[in-house]
Structure 1
Amino acid sequence: MYVDPPAPRPREVGERPPITATGPLDAPQRAWEFNPDYQRLVDAWNAVMPHLETLRTVLDKAYSRAKSPQTWDAPVGERYVEDIREWRERLARYRHAVLTAISDEAADTPRWVQTTANAPHAFP
């Protein structure tokens, strides 16, 4: 059983950049924006999770039905149960790999980046 890694956090309401200008003569004046690359990772996580959950739910349902003694009355049934169990394990490993890749990339990507667009200037 794998535990999902931490998800990238979307921008929260009222969240501010980590550093603000300390005065009008700061050189160079910089504005901050929420990192679009980080936002893409948040979007990727949110896009992939429903699909992974759907696959897990379907395989869990098939596995529980396959294990039922009312489903199979022949010894060959155990082979199908083993196949479904293996598919569930593969899905768990795949889910862990995909979510870990997104989470690791988010951990290495800054949430805020500096930009010169719309930066305040001391003199026009």
Structure 2
Amino acid sequence: MYVDPPAPKPKAVDERPPATSAGPLDNRPTAWEFNPDYQRLVIAWQTAVPQLEILRTALDKAYNLARSPQTWDAPVGERYVEDIREWRTRLAVYRHAVLTAISDEAHDTPRWIPARTNAPHAFP
């Protein structure tokens, strides 16, 4: 069984952008916005996890039914149980791969980016 990697954190209601200094020679922008690419990763996570849970639940239900002695009378039933067990394993590996990819991308994506402002600048 795999443990899910850390999920990207959605923007909190009271979350503030990083602090910037307001010195006259500061080259850093003073306006920030929540990164839309990071927000897409949050949405991807929130979309993928429930769907993966639906698949896991369906396979678990089928697996438990297949293991029941009331379901199969023939020895061939064990083959189906093994097939479902393999599908469950593949789903766990797939879940881990998908969520790790989203988590890794979120780790490498900044939460806040400089906002594009239409204010004129003295020096381009």
Normalising by structure 1, report the TM-score.
0.89
> Contact 1:30 / 1:116 at 8 angstroms: preserved in 2?
no
Distance 2:66 2:117 in 1: 60
Partner of 2:114: 114
> Once the 2 structures are TM-superposed, how far is the Cα of residue 44 of structure 1 from its aligned partner?
0.5
Partner of 1:92: 92
Distance 1:88 1:62 in 2: 10
**Structure 2: which 5+ runs fail to align?**
none
> Once the 2 structures are TM-superposed, how far is the Cα of residue 99 of structure 1 from its aligned partner?
0.2
Partner of 1:59: 59
SS where residue 17 of structure 1 aligns?
A: coil
> Once the 2 structures are TM-superposed, how far is the Cα of residue 30 of structure 1 from its aligned partner?
2.5
Distance 1:103 1:51 in 2: 17
Aligned residues: 119
Q: Percent identity?
A: 73
1:1-124 to structure 2, matched below 5 A, reads 1-22=1-22, 25=24, 27-28=26-27, 29-117=29-117
> Once the 2 structures are TM-superposed, how far is the Cα of residue 39 of structure 1 from its aligned partner?
0.4
**Backbone CA RMSD of aligned residues:** 1.7
For residues 16-41 of structure 1, what are the alpha-carbon distances to aligned partners after superposition, in whole Å with 9 as ceiling and x for unaligned? 11223435x35444200001110000
Distance 2:10 2:49 in 1: 15
> Contact 1:59 / 1:88 at 8 angstroms: preserved in 2?
yes
Normalising by structure 2, report the TM-score.
0.89
> Contact 2:5 / 2:103 at 8 angstroms: preserved in 1?
yes
